[in-house]
Each structure stands twice: as C-alpha cells, then as structure tokens.
C-alpha cells in the first residue's frame, strides 16, 4: 500500500466513528450521530461506487405490511410483536418524510393493494379472518384502520381475482431520489463518504478499532457495520442470511391503468407503475436454491417468471417488453426484525433490514446512533 503521511493523518485515522456500508442504514446512522455530536469525525466506507446491496436497487414501496405478510410473520412472532414491527415501519416512513419531504423523495400516496387470485384462496380466507384484529390494533397504536377488503373479480384492469385488500396509507417513492437526498445530507453535515473501500476485518483495543480495508488500515474510536448480510462471516451468531431479489422494468406501456403499489403472496411478489412502465420484483420464494445468495445477477428462470406473471396476470391487453433487469440483495434473519446492537465494546451492527429497509431504515439509523452516542458517555 503506497500510503502518504498526509493520507494517513488526514483520511485514515482519528475518526470518532467509521460506518461500513453506504446504504440506507449506514448513511442514516452517520447522519444521526452527526446530529447528536456535530464535532465528531465520522466517515462512511463503501466498497462499491454507490451502494451494492439493496438501497439503490429496491422498489421504493413506503409500506408497513400486507395482511398475508403479517399472517406469515405470525409463524415466528407473536401478534403483538408483528404489530409492533409494523408500527415501527409506519414511524420510519413518517421520519423519512419529516427528514427529507415528500417532494424530495418524489413520494406519492396512491395506496397499496394486495391481490388474491383463485390459487390464493386459502390465504385470502386467513387474511379476511384476521383483518379486524389488525385494524383494531392499528387503531389503538396509530389511530388508523388501514385495511379494507373487497371481494372483487376485477381491479384496475387486473382480472380473475377473488379479492383485494387495500391500504390507503401506503405510498411509493423514487429510490434514487431518496438515496441521493441521504448522500447529500451526509456530506452537508460533514460526513465523509468514501467509495471503493472494502472492509475486510477489524480488531479492537482499549481505546481504538483498527479496520483492515482494501486501501490500508483505518482507525476510529467506534465502528458500525451497516453491511446488511455481507459481513455474516464476522458476526456468525447474528444469523444473517443473504437473499437475492430480481427486478424487471418494462418499456413504457400506452394503455397502462395501474395506480398505487401492489403486493401478492406474502409480499414475495410486488409491482407498481413507474412513469407509465411496470416495475416488478420477486419470485424468489419459487427459486430458493438459486436465490439464497449474496451474488448480484439475473437468471433466465426468475426473469421469465416475472415477465409471465406480468403479461398473463396483470397486463394481458397488450404485449409488454422488458427494458431492464437487475437484482438486489436482502439481509434476512430468522424473523423480520432487524438487528440494532453493540456486539462488543466499540463495535456496533445495524443490519438484517430484509425487505422493509425503505420504511424502517432511517429509524434504525437513529436507534443505532443513539447506542453509539451513549457508549461515549459510559
């Protein structure tokens, strides 16, 4: 490593906090610590040019959960835990909007809709049986009754349905605009964001963390890993697993009627109208062997499954053409709850945000920054 004295003194050492990962969680953590401690030296180290996990790849749903997703969550969590996580997602969206504004996020509140086809009949019945219980719980916690059931066969041009469960409090934002706003906020608050720096390992001593990276050794008083599941090797007991999510976007469709955000099958499939095109992601539950990976990429099987679903179930009135396909990597655990934790002295983790990080990410950053802040007062 050809490191100069100036580089070492000015850029590699003397940080109060190094955050690893420039996704929603990492940038939010850095911003929130700077809010609390404006004099601190804080930097974010990102291995990629922008962000190479999920934060610049996602669908931009500002949602706090579909009913079949909640029913699925009840396998691993109690009813109160499921409601409490949904409430945190709701509050996370509120915080995001407060911090960056609807205009800046290009956020539109067009409602969310969960679709049930004939093959989803069992799930529809389960959701209908529990909808009042969830509405009552949200009424107590947030003073809203979000979910409305409609036993319709057609909705916004989508045919062969048995029902739709809508949530009028759901919105869709522009993911690029959101990440851009977070990056700009970081820089304006004096956070340094370095791209192309891959963190390989770390070691701690009484007053310092030494961070081994692709460009040399960095030093800080604290380190926060906001690397989704990418550092699962360093934190094996946190059980962070990688799941790939593939996404397609069509070319513009002239007769497109869709308005809002759409969910299907426990949120595994999702789509929305973006500027007259359909963005759709999902199908990973049908391909668990290939999609349990932290390697980005698309497969013909998943892209075909997504395309067929769109062409045959959602938009059969004219031919669709795919403009772009990409993937993102989720960090998931044994249930949907993220990890926000001091894992050892000076070392923090904010990770495993699964498929809910747009909603909950800025709140996770606030919680993690709170933990880091109080560690300086111990």
* Between 163 and 354, CB nearer to ligand FAD: 354
* Nearest distance from C-beta of residue 38 to ligand FAD, angstroms: 23
* Nearest distance from C-beta of residue 76 to ligand FAD, angstroms: 18
CA atoms within 13 A on the CB side of 103: 0
Extract the tokens encoding 237: 């007991």
Under the phi-then-psi rule, with left for phi > 0, alpha for psi from -120 to 50, and beta for the rest, what region is 266? left
* Between 22 and 310, CB nearer to ligand FAD: 22
* Between 19 and 164, CB nearer to ligand FAD: 19
Residue 164, helix vs strand vs coil: strand
Q: C-alpha distances in angstroms, 184 versus 31, 47, 180, 214? A: 10, 19, 6, 25
Kindly give the interhelix angle for 357-375 and 24-36, rounded to the nearest 10 degrees.
Answer: 40
Among 7, 126, 198, 342, binds ligand FAD (CB under 6 A): 198
* Between 5 and 49, CB nearer to ligand FAD: 49
* Nearest distance from C-beta of residue 350 to ligand FAD, angstroms: 7
Stretch that binds ligand FAD, among 39-47, 181-189, 285-293, 296-304 (CB under 6 A): 39-47
Among 328, 332, 367, 371, binds ligand FAD (CB under 6 A): 328
371 contacts ligand FAD (rule: CB under 6 A)? no
Q: Which of residues 235-254 bind ligand FAD (CB under 6 A)?
A: 245, 247
Q: Which of residues 59-78 bind ligand FAD (CB under 6 A)?
A: 59-61
Residue 56, helix vs strand vs coil: coil
* Between 52 and 72, CB nearer to ligand FAD: 52
48 contacts ligand FAD (rule: CB under 6 A)? yes
CA angle, residues 179, 184, 186, in degrees to nearest 5: 95
112 contacts ligand FAD (rule: CB under 6 A)? no
> Do 339 and 349 touch, CB atoms closer than 8 A?
yes
Q: How far apart are CA 65 and CA 79, in angstroms?
A: 14
Q: Which of residues 261-320 bind ligand FAD (CB under 6 A)?
A: 281
Q: How far apart are CA 146 and CA 87, in angstroms?
A: 12
* Nearest distance from C-beta of residue 197 to ligand FAD, angstroms: 6
Among 46, 69, 336, 366, binds ligand FAD (CB under 6 A): 46
User: Any alpha helices (H) in the chain, and if so which ranges?
Assistant: 5-7, 24-36, 67-73, 79-100, 102-105, 121-142, 175-188, 288-291, 300-308, 357-375
Local structure of residue 13 (DSSP, 8 states):
S
171 contacts ligand FAD (rule: CB under 6 A)? no
Among 68, 91, 167, 227, binds ligand FAD (CB under 6 A): 227
Among 15, 31, 43, 47, binds ligand FAD (CB under 6 A): 47
Under the phi-then-psi rule, with left for phi > 0, alpha for psi from -120 to 50, and beta for the rest, what region is 32? alpha
21 contacts ligand FAD (rule: CB under 6 A)? yes
Kindly give the interhelix angle for 79-100 and 175-188, rounded to the nearest 10 degrees.
Answer: 70
State how far Cα 20 lies from the chain centre. 16
Among 17, 18, 19, 25, binds ligand FAD (CB under 6 A): 25
Among residues 87, 22, 62, 1, the alpha carbon closest in space to that of 350 is found at 22
Applying CB under 6 A, which residues contact ligand FAD?
20-26, 45-48, 51-55, 57-61, 198-199, 226-228, 230, 245, 247, 281, 328, 330, 351, 353-359, 361
């Amino acid at each position: 490593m050809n490191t100069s004295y100036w580089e070492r003194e000015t850029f590699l050492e003397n940080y109060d906090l190094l955050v690893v990962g420039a996704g929603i969680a990492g940038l939010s953590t850095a911003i929130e610590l700077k809010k609390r401690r404006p004099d601190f030296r804080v930097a974010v180290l990102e291995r990629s040019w922008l962000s190479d996990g999920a934060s610049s790849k996602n669908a931009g749903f500002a949602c706090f959960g579909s009913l079949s997703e909640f029913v699925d969550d009840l396998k691993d969590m109690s009813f109160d835990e499921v409601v409490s996580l949904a409430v945190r997602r709701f509050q996370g969206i509120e915080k995001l909007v407060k911090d960056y504004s609807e205009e800046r996020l290009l956020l539109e509140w067009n409602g969310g809709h969960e679709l049930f086809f004939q093959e989803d009949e069992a799930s529809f019945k389960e959701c209908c049986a529990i909808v009042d219980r969830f509405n009552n719980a949200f009424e107590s916690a947030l003073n809203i009754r979000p979910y409305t059931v409609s036993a319709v066969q057609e909705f916004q041009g989508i045919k062969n349905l048995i029902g739709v469960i809508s949530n009028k409090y759901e919105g869709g934002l522009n993911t690029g605009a959101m990440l851009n706003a977070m990056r700009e906020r970081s820089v304006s608050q004096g956070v340094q964001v370095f791209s192309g720096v891959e963190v390989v390992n770390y070691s701690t001593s009484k007053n310092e963390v030494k961070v081994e990276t692709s460009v040399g050794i960095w030093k800080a008083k604290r380190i926060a890993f906001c690397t989704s599941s990418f550092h699962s090797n360093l934190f094996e007991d946190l059980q962070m697993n990688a799941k790939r999510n593939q996404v397609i976007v069509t070319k513009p469709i002239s007769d497109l009627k869709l308005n809002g955000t759409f969910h299907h099958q426990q949120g595994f499939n999702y789509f929305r109208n973006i500027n007259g095109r359909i963005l759709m992601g999902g199908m990973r539950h049908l391909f668990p062997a290939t999609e349990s990976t932290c390697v980005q990429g698309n497969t013909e099987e998943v892209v075909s499954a997504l395309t067929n679903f769109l062409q045959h179930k959602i938009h059969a009135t004219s031919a669709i053409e795919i403009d772009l396909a990409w993937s993102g990597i989720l960090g998931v655990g044994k249930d949907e709850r993220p990890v926000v934790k001091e894992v050892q002295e000076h070392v923090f983790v904010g990770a495993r945000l699964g498929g809910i990080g747009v909603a909950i990410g800025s709140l996770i950053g606030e919680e993690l920054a709170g933990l880091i802040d109080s560690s300086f007062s111990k």
